[in-house]
A and B are shown apart, each in its own frame.
Chain A
Amino acid sequence: MPDLIASAEYVTVRFGGLVAVNDASVPVPEGKIVGLIGPNGAGKTTLFATIAGFQRPNAGRIVFAGRDITRLPPHRRARLGIARTFQIVQPFAGLTVRENIAVGAHLRHVARAEALAAAEAVAQRVGLEPLLDLPAAALTVAGRKRLELARALATEPRLLLLDEVLAGLNPSEVRDMIPVIRAIRDGGVTVLMIEHVMQAVMALAEEVHVLAEGRIIARGAPEAVARDPAVIEAYLGHGAAARLAGAADA
């Protein structure tokens, strides 16, 4: 078993009577792209938020680089090397693309000039270079998703949490983004991604965890998980796996 860079261990998050995440464990091996999938409302984003520090779990713990970080606030986790993007993009709308990315770069670079230079280098990696001087508010959806990614990368993370960076993109934009994410992993950054675009998960992830109603119901290689009857039922409803199998036999 490869070394784990991070893991969520037996995490439970309750909102009043609702159990959003129920005793879920997600180990993240270093250097891989790991997918976290599941139907809407399964608790994926909540589980993400507990790893990034925006949500305290009611039970369980978060371990990063061998250290229990369950009680650390988000900015301390960022310093340790965890970066996240937001499903609903959160640009600094009044700032330019360059200034947006520089805020992330400032985590490791105190001097303004160095942070701006680092921002430019990151923009190049994600294909935002021509847009550096535009206000963030002027970007398209695809541009804003790239900006989320660029800002997070600028913090020079060891673990990158991507929350649906491909959602809302058209198929050609998705195709453009896949090599960008792969290049990030090849650059030594572990990626944990929530994704609805299955084509992308299948193409990118080496390992997939499936969350349904707050519980992990399956995990493994993407192809195997996609055939798992429990997963098919979670997405398509009770009895769907049997009906699909029946249809295939006929």
Chain B
Amino acid sequence: MRARLAPVLIVLAALALVPLFVASNVALNFLKVALMLALAGTGWNLLGGYGGQFSFGHAVFFGTGAYAAAVLQVRFGFNAWAAFGSGIALGGVLGLAIGWLTFRAGLRGSYFALVTLAFAEVARIIASVWPLTGAGAGILIPLKIGIATLQFGTRAEGYWFVLALLGAAMLLVRAIEGRRFGAQLVAVRENEDAAKALGVDTFAVKLRAITLSGAITAAAGAFYAQTFLYLDAGIAYGPWISVEALLTAIVGGIGTVWGPLIGALVLQSLSELGKHLGGDAPGLGLVLFGAVLILVVRFAPQGIVGLLRPLGGRRRARA
């Protein structure tokens, strides 16, 4: 099973070299945001892609990670690293809590999706009125570049940091694939009753998945806060990130380690393209996303990874 980690490590190493050859700030910014989206998507993918539990509200984890990082520093004087870690932990705890409520009630499919959407919306509304989160004005992390404050002097540093987070998440997912938990999670996705009959504690498996999923997506949120240093409820808990998290995984290849990364690069390119083509016309990126989603669902239900896989399979078969 060790060998399965190698391709992931190689790609991560290659990505780490990019800033040495690409000096353009525009390009590095683009990649940084793409990797952040890939990280959020990797969290979604663990629960939705591997476990078959489709969340429409991963913003609740992203926003909680982001607000925890900001609020703990600004209001409670936490060290930036501690706040960042707390954000990830809170994402996990929130995942556990939401999972306990929804899965215990036996919610599946569209019911689960709708309830997660509702959780994200409730969180958005609370954050937009609660003084602690800055209410409507939002919250600003004072600019103070340095390792201790986890603020990056160069774009390359921020890029490496988010790449490290994404790398850790991808390696975690890869490790889960090769373990009992991974096999049971996929079994839950494929057929929950059959899994139960084979001794799988489906409730516990889903709880573990949503806890890890929430923590990973919260890491993306905390990174957002440290990078842009400003949050409001619409950014942190807005539907945009729920949509991006699931789109990166679905477009790239649902239930695969590579899906979110590939999907994020493709979608982020489209989004840039939309900005160039449409100028200031808002929402053109979303129109493009919609078109891509329809194309993927219609012609490549396994995403871009699914389109590439038959080639690899045939090559292996011939060898």
- The interface of chain A, by Cβ under 8 A from chain B, is 52, 54, 73-75, 78-79, 83-84, 86, 90-95, 99, 102-104, 106-107, 110-113, 115, 151-152, 154-155
| Residue of A52, A103, A104 most packed against chain B (CB within 10 A) | A103
Bound-state CA distance A193–B184 (Å) is 27
Interface residues of B in 264-311 (CB under 8 A from A): none
> Given A86-B193, A92-B186, A95-B186, is A106 in contact with B201 using a C-beta cutoff of 8 Å?
no
> Given A112-B178, A112-B179, A112-B183, is A91 in contact with B196 using a C-beta cutoff of 8 Å?
no
Q: Are A95 and B197 in touch, CB under 8 angstroms?
A: no
Q: What are 15 A-B contacts with C-beta separation under 8 Å?
A: A75-B201, A78-B198, A83-B197, A90-B193, A92-B186, A92-B187, A93-B191, A95-B186, A102-B183, A103-B200, A106-B184, A110-B180, A111-B180, A112-B180, A154-B198
Bound-state CA distance A125–B190 (Å) is 25
Bound-state CA distance A245–B18 (Å) is 90
How many Cβ-Cβ contacts under 8 Å join chain A to chain B? Answer: 78
- Told that A86-B194, A90-B191 touch, could you supply 20 new A-B pairs with CB distance under 8 A? A54-B197, A75-B196, A78-B196, A78-B197, A84-B197, A91-B191, A91-B194, A93-B191, A95-B186, A95-B190, A99-B183, A103-B183, A103-B184, A103-B200, A104-B198, A112-B1, A112-B178, A112-B179, A152-B198, A155-B199
> Given A95-B186, A113-B1, is A78 in contact with B194 using a C-beta cutoff of 8 Å?
no
What chain B residues lie within 8 Å of A91 (beta carbons)? 190-191, 194
Give the nearest-CB partner of B302 in chain A.
A94
What chain B residues lie within 8 Å of A94 (beta carbons)? 186, 189-190
Bound-state CA distance A155–B186 (Å) is 17
Interface flag for B243 (CB, 8 Å): no
Bound-state CA distance A216–B188 (Å) is 35
| Residue of A52, A75, A112, A152 most packed against chain B (CB within 10 A) | A75
Q: Are B183 and A86 in touch, CB under 8 angstroms?
A: no
Bound-state CA distance A154–B199 (Å) is 11
Bound-state CA distance A73–B197 (Å) is 10
| Residue of A84, A90, A92, A112 most packed against chain B (CB within 10 A) | A92
Bound-state CA distance A180–B267 (Å) is 53
Bound-state CA distance A94–B187 (Å) is 9
Interface flag for B195 (CB, 8 Å): yes
